Amino acid sequence: MTVEVAASVHPSEPAVPIARRIVAEGLGTAFLLMAVVGSGVMAERLSGGNLALALLANTIATGAALVVLISIFGPISGAHFNPAVTLFFALRREIQPATATFYVIVQIAAAIAGVAIAHAMFGMALAEVSTKLRDGPAQALSEFVATFGLLVTIAGSVRFSPALTPALVGLYITAAYWFTASTSFANPAVTIARSLTNSFAGIAPSSAPAFIGAQIAAALAGYLMLGWLFEGRATPSTSTHSTSL
Amino acid sequence: MTVEVAASVHPSEPAVPIARRIVAEGLGTAFLLMAVVGSGVMAERLSGGNLALALLANTIATGAALVVLISIFGPISGAHFNPAVTLFFALRREIQPATATFYVIVQIAAAIAGVAIAHAMFGMALAEVSTKLRDGPAQALSEFVATFGLLVTIAGSVRFSPALTPALVGLYITAAYWFTASTSFANPAVTIARSLTNSFAGIAPSSAPAFIGAQIAAALAGYLMLGWLFEGRATPSTSTHSTSL
Amino acid sequence: MTVEVAASVHPSEPAVPIARRIVAEGLGTAFLLMAVVGSGVMAERLSGGNLALALLANTIATGAALVVLISIFGPISGAHFNPAVTLFFALRREIQPATATFYVIVQIAAAIAGVAIAHAMFGMALAEVSTKLRDGPAQALSEFVATFGLLVTIAGSVRFSPALTPALVGLYITAAYWFTASTSFANPAVTIARSLTNSFAGIAPSSAPAFIGAQIAAALAGYLMLGWLFEGRATPSTSTHSTSL
Amino acid sequence: MTVEVAASVHPSEPAVPIARRIVAEGLGTAFLLMAVVGSGVMAERLSGGNLALALLANTIATGAALVVLISIFGPISGAHFNPAVTLFFALRREIQPATATFYVIVQIAAAIAGVAIAHAMFGMALAEVSTKLRDGPAQALSEFVATFGLLVTIAGSVRFSPALTPALVGLYITAAYWFTASTSFANPAVTIARSLTNSFAGIAPSSAPAFIGAQIAAALAGYLMLGWLFEGRATPSTSTHSTSL
């Protein structure tokens, strides 16, 4: 239907032009960051200092947004929204290195744009520098566990019930916001973008590298272990490189 | 099965008489406003002044109600409940202008009736004038983003997973109540009706025009952009003008 | 598979012996009351006097329980758990009067048993008399709206998406706990049983008759209106007398 | 596809090597305990002493995690994660005694490991001794009811809608955390592991035996009663020994 070149499409999938994939990946990542940061600002303003209530609202908004965004953008771009996920699929050779590089650049740029739009909606400066330290080995371990669990969820869903991937990823993050000490960033693009908000969801730039390192380590660990655990392939009618149907 | 004239039905859909469509659209919109305003009153009365808790209850009730109402009325009327959605489908030529006009009139009338019934259930005057100012460019931007995101959700769902449209719209609004500074009205009929309640969910009449303007602008933006992003059609067995299966 | 006589089974359904139907209806109703009353007691004890938080917990537990109970008992008994629902189906001639009478007796007895078990789990006397007045026309109107909305939900689900009936009923009650001033009892058996607990979920016996009257009136109104609105039949492969697939 | 010996696979299921089943069962149980204990620690730290809010967060994280873990590990191991569930299936002869023994050992070991990882993520000692007494007949009754209800949910789901088992189990536990006085441990491995955390989710070792006894009694009661209630078999294309599709 178009002469544009589709990049890195798995043979069983209909070709989607790269321009639409990039727009889907960017729009989805921007909305994800709006959901994370915007709901954090709203929750902080309304919760009267009760951090559990603020995190609960932040959790529900983020989980709900993820289900929606993966459902509607998954069939176009795979709905990674996350360099760690893109790296995982690149290691599994389900996305080409060149496309993966495009994806990561778009994810980071769109994540930053999403924070800026969230700030604009709440009448704040478009970018701030976070002062919220999230340091130490327990935080790094949390990010490793959070990201590894995310990849277990994605790999298992894609293998056994691709149509449920959006719901399962949304539910996983809903749980992981609470069961990890870091509130489960689990995403390098999200980590970078959240260093630019000095609100509830922020992370001090000095804390970001350890988070990103742990996330990348988890992508490698996931690649090494999950191929065996979830061996076999999704049925041909479902995408194997996509995080959603 | 009936000699009544069905208006504006997509060729792939069974004809539904216009009277049933109008009743479905009206009953659904009335219940939606009961859910929004009624749960806001209940939440305000019980929450002891904690606004985050009140908004959380308001969010859960609204999101849950939307899933139900779109599921059961979607097959009859398309379950728009929203002039911005009807405008979006009219621009896409998936509903005829005359039917769209009927829909918008019914949506506004039913929304006002829904507020009145909610007030009656809580022993309040049937109509009030809200004094809750929601002014300024950040609020208008919020409504633009909220409505645009709603249309992205609807267009993407109808394209890729029509059976999930009710759930995805409910989840989107659940998230958007928190990530936009305006708590995501995203609906001109809802905006008009909520100007008639001086409770948690109200909006001062003077603040309404900017909300409605932003909502209409988002419908136009959605029309211009989303045809390309979600190009292609839902399978013939599913409605393309309906917001639900 | 059995020589027991199955009562009132729609021709398109496999016969289920009446004994299993009665046990399913009773076990489901008992668990429903445990969920309603038990979660109310727990919420009241833990919430430190914040009624919104208590109702939120009560809502989530009740909604979740309903989805489970209708899913697993629906294929056996129809999972009414509610004399107003049984009356609605009896008026529609989808259950025989004799069976309907059995159902109502079992529902009331099992609801009372459920309250007793909930009390035992929390170390309370098995039965109490509630002193919680829920009087006045606004409360009665609330029960009429709550029950009518429940029947709209059931009739619409059974007609258009029977497999989703459990989820839609659970979501409807989740919303209706908040948008009606009575917190949506919507069930005569539940009303009777909740008069026997002097906890969060209780209702004074003197307030019960108006609730039950409004619930029965809504069943009649639902019967008169919804046949037209949801005219047509579910596909033969799905039950039409069951509230779930 | 492999020469490893698959143990105790129902004839209608593809063989899965025992090593993968054990890893799935262990990884799932470890993540489940991380979710339960980790979210309990987070909730306790953030909730400012409001126990209802803490339990609500703990509930949402646990329920969401269960849906994910049963969905992705169910097709490999059956996703029991629970000696009471394994005993129930062993009594029904849907898992061989030797495999069941392996499962129980792995469940207990993995549950303890999950608590240790959760503690590490929150910077706590890997194991503690809980001082939280949960004694008395009301608590034991609660555990009997909680476990019996869990088995009703599993047996009913496997019989009538196997694809929904993960969601229904997650929703059941969501409700049961609130409607039982014990917050529904319903799992001997979870009970043992939670005796090793002196946080929100802990249980004093002296209280554990009565919990475990009640859970085992419920497994026996479930075996005796539910075969009759849910007589008949799931369709051949779905597993009958698995708690999920």
Query: Which residues of chain A make contact with D121, given a CB cutoff of 8 A?
Result: 138, 141-142, 145, 179-182
Query: Where does the pLDDT of residue B166 fall: very low under 50, low under 70, confident under 90, or very high at 90 and above?
Result: very high
Classify residue C108: in a domain, yes or no.
Answer: yes
* DSSP letter string, D154-208: HHHHHHH-GGGHHHHHHHHHHHHHHHSTT-----HHHHHHHTT--STT---GGGH
Query: Which residues of chain B make contact with C231, given a CB cutoff of 8 A?
Result: 1, 20
Classify residue D11: in a domain, yes or no.
Answer: no
Q: Is A81 left (phi over 0), alpha (psi -120 to 50) or beta?
A: left
Classify residue B100: in a domain, yes or no.
Answer: yes
Average pLDDT over residues A97-109: 97
Position with higher pLDDT, C225 vs A231? C225
| CB contact at 8 A, B243 and B154 | yes
Inter-CA distances, B69 with A41, B8, C157, Å? 30, 21, 10
Classify residue A11: in a domain, yes or no.
Answer: no
Over residues B73-123, the pLDDT tens digits come to 999 999 999 999 999 999 999 999 999 999 999 999 999 999 999 999 999
pLDDT of the residue at C90:
97
A16, A21, A29, A68, best to mutate vs chain B, most B CBs in 10 Å: A68
pLDDT of the residue at B233:
65
Q: Report ipTM (2 d.p.).
A: 0.91
pLDDT of the residue at C15:
77
Average pLDDT over residues A12-29: 86
Q: What is the average pLDDT value for chain A, to the nearest integer?
A: 91
Q: How far is CA C238 from the centre of its chain?
A: 21
Q: Do C42 and D149 touch (CB under 8 A)?
A: no
Domain ranges, residue A71 = 18-229
Closest approach of B143 to chain C, Cα-based (Å): 24
Q: Do B53 and C51 touch (CB under 8 A)?
A: no
Nearest to A61 among B149, B167, B178 (CB): B178
Query: Where does the pLDDT of residue C89 fall: very low under 50, low under 70, confident under 90, or very high at 90 and above?
Result: very high
Q: Does the pLDDT value for residue D9 go beyond 70?
A: no
Helix axes B39-46, C165-179, angle to 10 degrees: 60
pLDDT of the residue at C234:
60
Q: Does the pLDDT value for residue C41 go beyond 60?
A: yes
- The three-class DSSP label of residue A93 is coil
B44, B168, B178, B182, best to mutate vs chain A, most A CBs in 10 Å: B178
How many separate domains does chain A show?
1
Nearest to C46 among D55, D138, D161 (CB): D55
Q: Does the pLDDT value for residue D220 go beyond 50?
A: yes
Query: Which residues of chain D make contact with C121, given a CB cutoff of 8 A?
Result: 138, 141-142, 145, 179-182
Query: Which residues of chain D make contact with A51, given a CB cutoff of 8 A?
Result: 46-48
Classify residue A10: in a domain, yes or no.
Answer: no
pLDDT of the residue at D231:
86
Q: A163 in contact with D at a CB cutoff of 8 Å?
A: no
Q: Does the pLDDT value for residue A23 go beyond 90?
A: yes
Query: Which residues of chain D make contact with C64, given a CB cutoff of 8 A?
Result: 63, 171-172, 174-175
Classify residue C3: in a domain, yes or no.
Answer: no
Size of interface A-B (CB pairs under 8 A): 122
Q: D227 in contact with C at a CB cutoff of 8 Å?
A: no
Query: Where does the pLDDT of residue A142 fall: very low under 50, low under 70, confident under 90, or very high at 90 and above?
Result: very high
Over residues B203-224, the pLDDT tens digits come to 999 999 999 999 999 999 999 9
Angle at alpha carbon of residue C154, lines to C150 and C160, rounded to 5°: 140
Q: Does the pLDDT value for residue B62 go beyond 50?
A: yes
Q: A47 in contact with D at a CB cutoff of 8 Å?
A: no
pLDDT of the residue at B244:
32
Q: B96 in contact with C at a CB cutoff of 8 Å?
A: no
pLDDT of the residue at D50:
95
Over residues A222-232, the pLDDT tens digits come to 999 999 999 87
Q: Does the pLDDT value for residue D128 go beyond 60?
A: yes
Over residues A197-228, the pLDDT tens digits come to 999 999 999 999 999 999 999 999 999 999 99
Q: Does the pLDDT value for residue C55 go beyond 80?
A: yes
Q: Does the pLDDT value for residue C241 go beyond 50?
A: no
> DSSP assignment, residue A6?
P
CB atoms within 10 A of CB A17: 18
pLDDT of the residue at C67:
98
Q: Residues of A numbered 117-136 whose beta carbons fall under 8 angstroms of chain B's beta carbons: which are they?
A: 117-118, 120-123
Classify residue C242: in a domain, yes or no.
Answer: no
Q: What is the average pLDDT value for chain D, to the nearest integer?
A: 91
Nearest to C178 among B42, B48, B123 (CB): B42
Classify residue A69: in a domain, yes or no.
Answer: yes
Over residues B115-163, the pLDDT tens digits come to 999 999 999 999 999 999 999 999 999 999 999 999 999 999 999 999 9
Q: How far apart are CA A60 and CA A47, in angstroms?
A: 15
Q: How far apart are CA B41 and CA B178, in angstroms?
A: 18
Q: Do A50 and B51 touch (CB under 8 A)?
A: no
Q: B60 in contact with C at a CB cutoff of 8 Å?
A: yes
Q: C220 in contact with B at a CB cutoff of 8 Å?
A: no
Q: Does the pLDDT value for residue D214 go beyond 50?
A: yes
Over residues C93-109, the pLDDT tens digits come to 999 999 999 999 999 99
Q: How far is CA D85 from the centre of its chain?
A: 7
Q: Which residue of D has its CA nearest to A144?
A: D121
pLDDT of the residue at B232:
75
Of D103, B104, C167, which Cα lies nearest the Cα of A167?
C167
Query: Taking the model in full, what pTM does it have?
Result: 0.93
Q: D37 in contact with C at a CB cutoff of 8 Å?
A: no
* DSSP letter string, B212-223: HHHHHHHHHHHH
Q: C175 in contact with B at a CB cutoff of 8 Å?
A: yes
Q: Do C178 and B39 touch (CB under 8 A)?
A: yes
Q: Does the pLDDT value for residue D21 go beyond 70?
A: yes
Q: How far apart are CA C40 and CA A130, in angstroms?
A: 41
| CB contact at 8 A, C149 and C171 | no
Query: Where does the pLDDT of residue D200 fall: very low under 50, low under 70, confident under 90, or very high at 90 and above?
Result: very high
pLDDT of the residue at B11:
38
pLDDT of the residue at B45:
97
Q: Does the pLDDT value for residue C145 go beyond 70?
A: yes
pLDDT of the residue at C244:
32
Q: Which residue of D has its CA nearest to A225?
A: D23
Nearest to C145 among B60, B72, B117 (CB): B117
Q: What is the average pLDDT value for chain C, to the nearest integer?
A: 91
Over residues D59-109, the pLDDT tens digits come to 999 999 999 999 999 999 999 999 999 999 999 999 999 999 999 999 999
Over residues A73-96, the pLDDT tens digits come to 999 999 999 999 999 999 999 999
Q: Which residue of C has its CA nearest to D151?
A: C72
Angle at alpha carbon of residue B228, lines to B227 and B233, rounded to 5°: 60
Of D45, D212, D34, D232, which Cα lies nearest the Cα of D140?
D212
Q: Do D178 and C60 touch (CB under 8 A)?
A: yes
Q: Does the pLDDT value for residue B237 go beyond 70?
A: no
CATH number of domain containing B218: 1.20.1080.10
Q: Does the pLDDT value for residue C9 go beyond 60?
A: no
